Amino acid sequence: MNRPYHLKPLSLASSSNIDYSSALNNQQYAAVTSTPGAALVIAGAGSGKTRTLTYRVSWLLEQGYAAEQILLLTFTNKAAREMLERVNTLLPGRASTLWGGTFHSIGHRILRHHVELLGYQRNFTIMDRDDQEALLDAVMTRKGLRLSEKRFPKANVLLEIISLLNNTGETLHALLVRKYRYFLDLEPDLQTAIEGYHLAKKTANTMDFDDLLTKTQELFLTHPEIAQHYQQQFRAILVDEYQDTNYLQANLIDILAKLHQHIMVVGDDAQSIYSWRGANVSNILDFPKRYPSAQFFPIETNYRSVPQILHLANASIFCNPQQFPKELQAIRSPYARPPARVALATNIEQASFIGQRLMELHKEGIPFAEMAVLYRAHYHSMEIQMELTRRGIPFLITSGLRFFEQAHIKDVAAMMKFALNPNDEVAFKRLVGLFRGIGKKTAESLWKQTREKLEGTHEFERLTSCKLPAKAAREWKQWLDTILEITQKEVIMTPSTMIETIMIGFYEEIMKERFTNYDVRLEDLKTLTNYSKQFSQASDFLAELTLLGENETNTQKEEDQVYLSSIHQAKGLEWRVVFIVWLTEGMFPTLRSLSEATTLEEERRLFYVAVTRCKEDLYLTYPELRLNAHYGEAFQRPSRFLEELKHDLYDRWDISLAM
């Protein structure tokens, strides 16, 4: 007969060297020293979330938990390293065997021990993005999926679809309906490609990044004894940024916490802004439903912002019905002036105001690096980039490439360049490189044919007889028809009309196939079209693009630079001065969000995140008139995120032009 014997954890609380009550505020202390069990910690912006997690780990170690019995899940390796370093500072050497890291690193660690149970060899390799694209391209080629007349997505686009399927749990059909309607007619072929890709990975004994989670979940579900092993081992689970977890990550957490039910998740539902990449705010909102006995700990003391910023942020997020109520409280003293609401006549004037105000603040002694311009979408920054370039204000783009360096901008510019100058070899090869079946050798052959047939003229109809791969014939014809249209002798096209013709004629279809964020790039090109309206000659417009691009390159050498960033990229950062721009209906919030309550709530959370990046001086700007090439001059209504705020939360600035 087996005799049960239970080991009890050694309590070291009485000999603690850490004065938790002095190191933490009351709300942090309550969360850190809470009894084992499920706990939801709602940590508001700037409230010391990392500090709370760090001290919780230290508390558990001092209560007798062995380091290897604690699992700390984060979203970045940097966050994991920072927390573990802090724990080791508090308790030297005590956290060396703690399981801490990203979801994917922990999944990888588990799979290395048990992957043979899934039919893989233990020496499996992990593909980077280039490897994934190469393998998927090979699968599509073997199955003949890119030989049809229909435009089939390139590997990078299809990989984005596969990743969303993994992380959201959606069916392919549901995802296509929600996000990729223009591929619905390809659904059977897409399914074939996806299945072939998964089979090819297993045959090659390799995994992609998502497999580190999907295969871990598969391991737990198909081999419950393995799940039980880790459920037994992890007596305490802590999760950082829980509001950013997706369907798959939440499932894995629930599986691991099943036995002990000792799970502390830390996050802020008001900062859940990543649904576009699979994050599900319901995970944090429904946590009390999944863990009915969960303790609730709000942490509302903000150490970053002045009171006026927090009053505005609190009032804004209060308008969201689905949330955990909280009210950020400031430690800092009031600032000299409240946030500014600034209406500008046009989007050009908005850029001018930002440029002038940045210079004024810099002359007052504020470094450029302490100032940021935040926007909802990358294309909102175009006029601002150009204005800062003209004024010689150094700036750093963190939301992506500088506007004129982006591939789709360069593609359209190349089309215009070749139409004006048939001797431009670089522009020609860039364009034909977009077509199926045309590599470097074929591009060189086509360039030789083009030079011989054109003989320096603009008689582009001569190119109809060029010899090229059959799979590129349709695209070549569309491109050539577009060239002929924009170079008609009897019609002198403006740059804006040329861009619109290029888009309709052939490039919009290419964008759908090549880019994962087709809709965002389309808005970029609409903005470029709008900007080009100030030029009557395409040559002048292209020269301006080149000069601006050269000036932008030179500014990258500066160290003290204004930050230009999308709000998504700015999360977790902070500046003394923040400009939030384009606060109009349809721009922020976006037009597509206005018809769906849950999406509109996320837009408001995004505004909240933007506001809480600011320490002191906040400017909320918008143009009253949008100069738009597609829709003409369009009057803009102020964003509801401004209109729903009480007037005493900000000062209105009246802008006039100096004579």
Provide mean pLDDT across the span 399-404: 69
Is the four-CA dihedral 428, 434, 436, 440 of positive or negative sign?
positive
On the question of pLDDT at 407 being above 90, the answer is: no
- Helix H or strand E encompassing 125: strand 125-126
Provide mean pLDDT across the span 561-584: 95
Residue 33 has what pLDDT? 96
CA distance 512 to 515: 6
Please tell me which residue, 437 or 176, carries the higher pLDDT value: 176
Bridge partners of 580, per DSSP, are 374, 620
Altogether, the residues listed in the chain come to a count of 659
- Number of C-beta neighbours around residue 644 at 10 A: 12
- Provide the 8-state DSSP code for 104: H
In the chain, what are the helix, strand and coil shares in percent, each to the nearest 5? 55, 15, 30
On the question of pLDDT at 630 being above 80, the answer is: no
185 tagged catalytic: no
* Pairing, β 340-346 against β 39-43: unpaired
Please tell me which residue, 634 or 429, carries the higher pLDDT value: 429
* Pairing, β 614-628 against β 632-635: antiparallel
> Per-residue DSSP letters for 346-406?
EHHHHHHHHHHHHHHHHHTT--GGGEEEEESSGGGGHHHHHHHHHHT--EEE-SSS-GGGS
Q: Are 247 and 284 in contact (CB under 8 A)?
A: no
On the question of pLDDT at 358 being above 90, the answer is: yes
On the question of pLDDT at 421 being above 90, the answer is: no
Give pLDDT tens digits for 233-267.
Answer: 999 999 999 999 999 999 999 999 999 999 999 99
Please tell me which residue, 227 or 425, carries the higher pLDDT value: 227
Is the four-CA dihedral 236, 239, 243, 245 of positive or negative sign?
negative
Residue 574 has what pLDDT? 96
Work out the pLDDT band at 511, boundaries 50, 70, 90.
Answer: confident
On the question of pLDDT at 76 being above 60, the answer is: yes
Residue 399 has what pLDDT? 61
Catalytic residue among 33, 50, 406, 494: 50
Residue 10 has what pLDDT? 47
On the question of pLDDT at 11 being above 70, the answer is: no
Question: What is the percent of the chain where pLDDT is above 70?
Answer: 93
Work out the pLDDT band at 659, boundaries 50, 70, 90.
Answer: low
Catalytic residue among 27, 28, 49, 56: 49
Provide mean pLDDT across the span 211-228: 96
Residue 366 has what pLDDT? 97
On the question of pLDDT at 400 being above 50, the answer is: yes
Give pLDDT tens digits for 33-56.
Answer: 999 999 999 999 999 999 999 999
Return contacts of 462-469, CB within 8 angstroms, 24+ apart: 468/437, 468/438, 468/442, 469/436, 469/437, 469/438, 469/442
50 tagged catalytic: yes
Work out the pLDDT band at 556, boundaries 50, 70, 90.
Answer: very low
Please report the beta strands in 13-94, taking only residues with DSSP state E, as ranges in sequence order: 39-43, 70-74
On the question of pLDDT at 12 being above 60, the answer is: no
Contacts of 612 by beta carbon, 8 Å cutoff, 6+ apart: 45, 46, 302, 304, 305, 309, 310, 313, 328
Q: Which of 120-129, 523-532, 568-577 has the lowest mean pLDDT?
A: 523-532
Give the torsion through C-alpha atoms of 507, 513, 514, 515, to 10 deg.
Answer: 100
Q: Which of 276-280, 288-292, 464-468, 553-557 has the lowest mean pLDDT?
A: 553-557
Please tell me which residue, 306 or 525, carries the higher pLDDT value: 306
Catalytic residue among 69, 271, 482, 527: 271
Q: Which two tokens stand for residue 139?
A: 């699968």
On the question of pLDDT at 382 being above 90, the answer is: no
Q: Which of 97-111, 173-187, 417-431 has the lowest mean pLDDT?
A: 417-431
Please tell me which residue, 359 or 138, carries the higher pLDDT value: 359
On the question of pLDDT at 310 being above 70, the answer is: yes
> Per-residue DSSP letters for 629-656?
TTTEEEE-PBPHHHHTS-GGGSEEEPP-
241 tagged catalytic: yes
271 tagged catalytic: yes
Please tell me which residue, 486 or 231, carries the higher pLDDT value: 231
Q: Specify the 3-state DSSP secondary structure of 555.
A: helix
Residue 637 has what pLDDT? 94
Based on C-alpha coordinates, what's the Rg of the chain? Answer: 28
Catalytic residue among 613, 615, 626, 640: 613
Residue burial 238-274, b: 16+ Cβ < 10 Å; e: rest: bbbbbbbbbbbbbbbbebbbeebebbbbbbbbbbbbb
Catalytic residue among 189, 208, 211, 241: 241
Name the average pLDDT for the chain: 89
SS (H, E, C) 504-548: HHHHHHHHHHHCCCHHHHHHHHHHHHHHHCCCCCHHHHHHHHHHH
Residue 147 has what pLDDT? 57
List the one residue out of 461, 526, 541, 460 whose CA is nearest residue 495: 541
240 tagged catalytic: yes
On the question of pLDDT at 2 being above 60, the answer is: yes
Provide mean pLDDT across the span 524-531: 83
Catalytic residue among 208, 240, 383, 524: 240
List the one residue out of 575, 545, 572 whose CA is nearest residue 560: 575
List the one residue out of 38, 48, 106, 110 whose CA is nearest residue 72: 106
Residue 224 has what pLDDT? 96
Please tell me which residue, 544 or 277, carries the higher pLDDT value: 277
Q: Specify the 3-state DSSP secondary structure of 240.
A: coil
On the question of pLDDT at 633 being above 80, the answer is: no
Q: In 187-245, where does DSSP find H-type helix?
A: 187-203, 211-222, 224-233
Residue 559 has what pLDDT? 78
Q: How many helices (H) and strands (E) does the chain have?
A: 28, 18
Provide mean pLDDT across the span 569-578: 94
Residue 127 has what pLDDT? 87
CA distance 466 to 452: 10
Give pLDDT tens digits for 448-492.
Answer: 888 888 887 888 888 888 888 888 888 888 888 888 888 886 667
Work out the pLDDT band at 537, boundaries 50, 70, 90.
Answer: confident
On the question of pLDDT at 308 being above 80, the answer is: yes
CA distance 567 to 583: 13
Give pLDDT tens digits for 427-436.
Answer: 888 888 888 8
Work out the pLDDT band at 225, boundaries 50, 70, 90.
Answer: very high
Which of 145-159, 281-295, 616-630 is modeled with the greatest confidence? 281-295
Give pLDDT tens digits for 120-160.
Answer: 988 888 888 888 998 998 898 888 886 555 678 889 899 99
Q: Are 69 and 236 in contact (CB under 8 A)?
A: yes
Q: Which two tokens stand for residue 560?
A: 């003290």
